[in-house]
Amino acid sequence: MFAVYAHPIRTGDRASNSIEYKPLISIADWSCHCPFLDFFLPASPLFQTPIQRRPAVECRQSLCDRNPQDARFFYIQTRTTLDMSQQFNPCITDDGSYTFFSEEFGQTFHSKYGAKEESIYKYAIPTLLSEKASRGHLRILDICYGLGYNSAAALATIWRSNPNCTVEIIALEIDRSVPISAIEHHLLNDWEEPIPSLLTQLIQMESILVPRGSANETARLNARLILGDARQTIVDPLDRGFQADAIFLDPFSPTACPQLWTIEFIDRVAKCCASDGIIATYSCASAVRTAMVEAGLFVGDTSPVGRKSPGTIASFNAAQITPLSQQEREHLQTRAAIPYRDPTLSDSMAKIIIRRELEQDDCGLETTSQWKKRWRKN
Ligand SMILES: C[S@@+](CC[C@H](N)C(=O)[O-])C[C@H]1O[C@@H](n2cnc3c(N)ncnc32)[C@H](O)[C@@H]1O
């Protein structure tokens, strides 16, 4: 028995801006297992009304990962180029700063409560950059560079505290058109000079080395943008033994981009963290916190900015972290805390999600609603 679907897929190399949309008709065998799981993922039970329940983007992604040689799965494809690059239009957030909306992930790049505030209060402040600037040299790993707000907020915070502090940044981003659009729309101009000029140069040249003064002095800013899937590009700082004082972990949400919240990826992130470095993220998902704990990190809250839920900070140095409350620690014992896994760091979003759902079904742990009820009773 076969099922037939028609929908677009995106192909091409996002890092180099070449993107094609191809209408695709897929014909799949009901008995087909792995690829099919990807394909039908959000439908529950699995094989119900698959396409209608999935955003087109997810279908594209999982189909791109599919092996067309698989005898159980084959497709007919008509080549039509619909689009060559991503266009992003600024949308305003509550603090007056702008963000973008991603059609692909179905999310804005920042909290609607304030894009600029998020970069300051979820990243620059919790990583203690202002205090650490007195050391005279800081290293930052900016994962999911996006519009560049987190790097901009970090530089502003550091140089306000110590204008002579030298800074090294490694920025990982898959889609160059995001920072390019931010520059075209002058969105970095919310920060004082020389930050917009330096970050513009970084995006144009993909690296920047700004001498502080005489030739013997260390550069004031030494930054590199590495384009590609962060699951692979993180090998670069890892191999160089880069030990960051601050790591900004800022992918789209775990349900939209689970690839960058897995045990395996967060383990790599942790390996890039200095012994008293701090990893900051806006997410407080228990699955993410579990992955951090598994990597040997101590985990704590950052204060909520304009919304109910806090973010997370993590460090190998417990002294840098205010421990989680008893209630939050108990949430790490629920179904929600089952982490995302991606053993080869190459699985599709859909495969990672379904792997976690299967593990959750088998785990026998309390659900979040049971946990909530229990805490309301206490
Ligand atoms: C929530 S936004 C980050 C916002 C950003 N930190 C800022 O300050 O503007 C997520 C970013 O992750 C990027 N991204 C998505 N998947 C990625 C991947 N596999 N590897 C690296 N970057 C990725 C997106 O292109 C997007 O720019």
Conformation bin of residue 342: beta by default, left when phi > 0, alpha when psi is -120 to 50: beta
How far apart are the C-alpha atoms of 341 and 42, rounded to whole Å? 17
Six-digit token string for 111: 């909290």
| Ligand 1 centroid – CA 233 distance (Å) | 13
Which one of 16, 88, 174, 247 would you pick to mutate in the ligand 1 pocket, going by the greatest count of ligand atoms within 8 A of its CB?
174
How far apart are the C-alpha atoms of 190 and 258, rounded to whole Å? 31
Q: From residue 116, how far is each of 41, 110, 191 by CA, in Å?
A: 35, 9, 9
pLDDT value at position 207? 78
What is the DSSP secondary structure assignment for residue 320, as one 8-state letter? Answer: G
| Ligand 1 centroid – CA 202 distance (Å) | 16
Neighbour tally for 180: CB within 10 Å? 17
> Which residue from 153, 118, 158 is spatially nearest to 135, judged by alpha carbons?
158
Q: Hunting for tokens 């309301």 — which residue is that?
A: 376
Extract the residue ranges of the chain whose pLDDT is less than 50. Answer: 1-84, 214-216
Please give the CATH topology (third level) of the domain spanning 115-337.
Rossmann fold (3.40.50)
Neighbour tally for 364: CB within 10 Å? 7
The DSSP element (H or E) to which 13 belongs, if any, is strand 2-13
How far apart are the C-alpha atoms of 58 and 62, rounded to whole Å? 6
> Which residue from 55, 176, 70 is spatially nearest to 104, judged by alpha carbons?
55
CA of 151, closest atom in ligand 1: 8
pLDDT value at position 376? 84
Residue 230 CA neighbour count, 13 Å, CB half = 31
pLDDT value at position 170? 98
Integer-rounded Cα Rg, in Å, for the chain is: 22
pLDDT value at position 377? 62
pLDDT value at position 87? 79
pLDDT value at position 20? 42
| Ligand 1 centroid – CA 326 distance (Å) | 32
pLDDT value at position 213? 61
Query: Is residue 233 a contact partner of residue 204, using CB atoms and an 8 Å limit?
Result: no
pLDDT value at position 309? 86
Query: Is residue 212 a contact partner of residue 220, using CB atoms and an 8 Å limit?
Result: yes
Question: Does residue 278 have its Cβ closer than 6 Å to ligand 1?
Answer: no
pLDDT value at position 86? 64
pLDDT value at position 263? 98
CATH 3.40.50.150 domain residues, the chain: 115-337
Nearest CA to ligand 1 atom 9: 147
pLDDT value at position 138? 98
pLDDT value at position 37? 40
Q: What are phi and psi of 97, to 5 degrees?
A: -90, 165
- pLDDT (tens digit per residue) in 157-189: 999 999 999 999 999 999 999 999 999 999 999
